[in-house]
Structure 1
Amino acid sequence: MNNLKRLIITSAFFALVGFTASGQNPISYGIKGGLNYGATGEYFDALSFNRSNPDKNIGYHIGVFGKMGDEIYLRPEFVYTAIKSDYDNAEFNVRKIDVPILVGVQLIDHLSVFAGPAMQFILDSDFRGIDIDNIRHKFRVGFNFGIAVNFDTIGIDLRYERGFDNNEASFKEENQGRYSRIDTKPNHLILSVSLTL
């Protein structure tokens, strides 16, 4: 509940800043998609007591966005994201909904920087073919920051996404009496192309 209160306060603050900055500037919206490169957190094997960090891998995302303001702007997004991490020849797949609320500042023509909180809701995940549905917190808050280049209706942005804290899931693998654990916290570089409609 405390996390939810912090999320509401933080989101309200960024929205207020963005709306104040946007004034009478036009509102636009569009679609976006692209690639993610990164990994989730540590995996603990309860059978061998080994801990391992994943190899980074490529995922994808697709979604919609709105934009209010010009030189200083508010940009909320609603994005479906699929990420994949490799742990010793085993894949950990996560599908989630991301809702970043970003505030950006235009530095020079076509170039801006942005940052803001990103709400994350995990839809489902699996590891070695095992569905993992007991993630400690399916709803979490992370942080995005990055740089964007916009030309009329086409935009390209590169951002870094990081979860604030660990978010472990525990599960029992085949022929194993103990529960292994895996951390679902994202740590990614995200490259997006957007089209303003």
Structure 2
Amino acid sequence: MKKAILILCLLAGVTTYAQTGSGIGIKGGLNFGANGDLTESIGNLNSNSVSKLGFHVGVFGKMDFGTLYFRPELAYSRLNSKYDDNDFKMNKLDIPLLVGLNILDPVHIFAGPALQYILDTELENVTLADVKNKFTVGFNIGAGINFSDELGLDLRYERGFSENEAEILGVEGNPRLDTRPSQLILGLSYKF
């Protein structure tokens, strides 16, 4: 009986230690990047996108397991880019599923897939058809630093994997816009 109680106490201590960095929190920040190219139906390049500043806000959960952690997030993101004289805006929900490694206190690295749901796309002075797929998949990879148990800062790169185009309506040549993001994301987080 004493051995069983001792084992239970040890397991409780290990579990408590593994969860010390766990919690939920809020995050927000800036993203800088662009989407894919604007092309005609025959594949000729019409215009490259020019990167512009966007933003993101959201929530996250973190499950800490010593040197490893799992961090699912839910964020609203606004991506901005420019094609010639037309501004492009895309609003989306991102669900990154990140696995991280605490390498040196307070520095950590992380990577994982990002599920994306496109809410809206808009190209200034042009009518866009809906994107081919509202649900897409991307990838995040980055590094961060924790200033305290609550406050952290990270920089990540996001790239969309799923091909996803929106057709430009009412224009000869059947031009298409590649909506896959390619951006740097700077985020500030606060864990409760």
TM-score (norm 2): 0.83
Where do residues 86-125 of structure 1 align in structure 2 (5 Å cutoff)?
86-125=82-121
Is the Cα–Cα contact under 8 Å of residues 124 and 132 in structure 1 kept in the other structure?
Answer: no
What's the Cα RMSD here?
2.0
Q: Separation in 1 of the partners of 2:61 and 2:128?
A: 33
Corresponding residue for 1:193? 188
Q: 1:55 aligns with which of 29, 50, 53?
A: 50
Amino acid at match of 1:41: G
Amino acid at match of 1:30: G
Corresponding residue for 1:76? 72
1:160 aligns with 2:157: yes
Q: 2:23 aligns with which of 24, 28, 31?
A: 28
Q: 1:41 aligns with which of 29, 36, 54?
A: 36
Deviation at 1:171, TM superposition (A): 2.3
TM-score (norm 1): 0.81
Q: Separation in 2 of the partners of 1:28 and 1:93?
A: 33
If you compute each CA radius of gyration, which structure gives the higher value, 1 or 2? 2
Q: 1:126 aligns with which of 122, 132, 142?
A: 122
How many residue pairs end up in the alignment?
A: 173
Is the Cα–Cα contact under 8 Å of residues 56 and 77 in structure 2 kept in the other structure?
Answer: yes
Deviation at 1:179, TM superposition (A): 3.0
Q: Separation in 2 of the partners of 1:84 and 1:45?
A: 21
